[in-house]
Amino acid sequence: MQTTASSLDAVCGQLRETFGFDQFRGRQGDVVERVLAGQSTLAVMPTGAGKSLTYQLPAVMLEGTCLVISPLIALMHDQLRSARANGIRAATLTSADADWRETIDAFRAGALDLLYVAPERASQPQFRDMLHAAPLALFAIDEAHCVSEWGHDFRPDYRQLRPLMDAFPQVPRLALTATADRQTRDDVLAQLGIPADGLVLAGFDRPNIRYTIGHRDNPVRQLTQVMAEHSGPGIVYVPTRRKTEELADKLAAATGRPVRPYHAGLEPERRAANQAAFVASEDMVIVATVAFGMGIDKPDVRFVAHVGIPKSIEGYYQETGRAGRDGDPALATMLWGASDFATARARLEEVPQDRRGAERARLDSLAALVETPGCRRALLLRHFGEDPPAQCGNCDNCLSPPGVTDVTELARKLLSAAYRTGQSFGFGHLQKVLTGAADERVRQRGHDSLSVFGIVGSDEAPLLQPLSRALQARGALVSTEHGGLALGGDATAILKGEQPVAIVVPPKRSRGRRGDSTP
């Protein structure tokens, strides 16, 4: 179907009437046009791009109901509220709903534009039967990366969608996701039966977000600094529930700003209250686990900080994408430590064999992001299959380019120290051995008579710590159960001199402003 001028008018009229928007944003128009023409589509658009509109608008215009598959009840209810606020006839069928009867009756009567369900419904025969009772206009599959094992959030129930949809061959499919690298994207197309030419890929760049990534030495002090520079709302992601409460208290005490915790284990009332307070606030900081953020539409978040590493580049992009949705300058900052990678790599052992390779690749990509001396944005965008300029001018490495030092020899010394001491000592001990600082423990173990004892001079010694961090990030050093460091990954190649090692040396932080040095 060719979209004629008059049907385009109708679409724009509906856009204004239902949503109050004068124009489409980004590639929304392309997606809507395809859907109205009955063409199955995978829309890959960043968080905040306005994916919901791309199925809601056709749902209003097309005869019949749009069935929306969504992975989280909370997310569905948020969507339901905003759809209804726009006057769209919408309902949810979830375990949390009491009005099933009414919803099913409304569906049968053809009185629903949107029906939200969880993927588990798809495998229920009664539900399938019900779908035959009224015309379907569209299948919309939200968070479609969940169908792929390559994605960061695989949900087996999503695999039931294909047989369900195949029973309605005339109904087009619209899959939506913010988080698909090339592999995941191809897999989603295949798994959901969408032709390869059905891909609509929006640009991933968020030019108003400044990316900075640095080593974590004192998170409270470092975040206090970030908060001093950003008086607007902020989100701090931490790895555990306990840390959300701990860090929220400390930051509140250090800054005098409103700071609240958020995690899935909080009492529901307190959790809801903290979220509502954050959404309404102009200066609140929320310290949260990754449970926080999905479905929250707060345009003026001025910074997103990660204390520790995210699960993947996709996760990082999605979480940092909650900053600066209003288009004003915002900061995404990550504070990482060697132990983050060491722990994550040690956990790989528990991952089932068939998924371990993918998990390891995810960590390697993250390690490349934190260790790169190049542009962070360019690396992110290349990860998503784009071909960005080499420099963005709005990330830490573009703003003050770090130095790169070849440390291949030093890496061989550090790795052989780990090897010769039996791969069971932590960094502190290895450092003592290498620099010839014999303490009680070193002498007791006889490590002062090893060939590696004292082979690192005072000029190289300061590089040991960043080197150890880099080797742990890339997996050449891995944590043992008891906190020691063992060889892993490409350690052997490095030891044999087959693999060079370079590390990033952070630029010297100068106190004065540039240009102040005129005598």
Residues that bind ligand ADP (CB under 6 A): 21, 24-25, 28, 45, 47-53, 297
* Sign, Cα dihedral of 193, 386, 1, 63: positive
Residue 50 interacts with which of Zn ion, ligand ADP, none, CB < 5 to 8 Å by class: ligand ADP
- What is the nearest approach in angstroms of Zn ion to the Cβ of residue 207? 10
Residue 297 interacts with which of Zn ion, ligand ADP, none, CB < 5 to 8 Å by class: ligand ADP
159 closest CA partner among 248, 69, 94: 69
Nearer to ligand ADP, 51 or 311 (CB): 51
Candidates 152, 230, 377, 432; binder of Zn ion (CB under 5 A) is 377
CB-side neighbour CA atoms (13 Å) of 275: 20
- What is the nearest approach in angstroms of ligand ADP to the Cβ of residue 51? 3
Separation of alpha carbons 257 and 254, rounded Å: 8
- What is the nearest approach in angstroms of Zn ion to the Cβ of residue 398? 3
Nearer to ligand ADP, 299 or 389 (CB): 299
DSSP code, position 363: H
Q: Does 379 bind Zn ion (CB under 5 A)?
A: no
Separation of alpha carbons 283 and 251, rounded Å: 13
- What is the nearest approach in angstroms of ligand ADP to the Cβ of residue 124? 27
- What is the nearest approach in angstroms of ligand ADP to the Cβ of residue 45? 5
Interface with Zn ion (CB under 5 A), residue total 5
Measured CA to CA in angstroms, residue 312 lies from 151, 165, 199, 363, 396 at distances of: 10, 30, 23, 7, 20
Residues 6+ apart with CB under 8 A from 265: 241
Residue 375 interacts with which of Zn ion, ligand ADP, none, CB < 5 to 8 Å by class: Zn ion
Q: What does the per-residue mask of binding to Zn ion show for 266-305, with x meaning CB under 5 A?
A: ----------------------------------------
Separation of alpha carbons 397 and 410, rounded Å: 24
Residues 394-423 that bind Zn ion (CB under 5 A): 395, 398
Q: How far out from the chain centre does Cα 171 lie?
A: 32
- What is the nearest approach in angstroms of ligand ADP to the Cβ of residue 212? 24
Separation of alpha carbons 198 and 189, rounded Å: 8
Cβ-contact 144, 152 below 8 angstroms: no
Residue 377 interacts with which of Zn ion, ligand ADP, none, CB < 5 to 8 Å by class: Zn ion
Nearer to ligand ADP, 36 or 49 (CB): 49
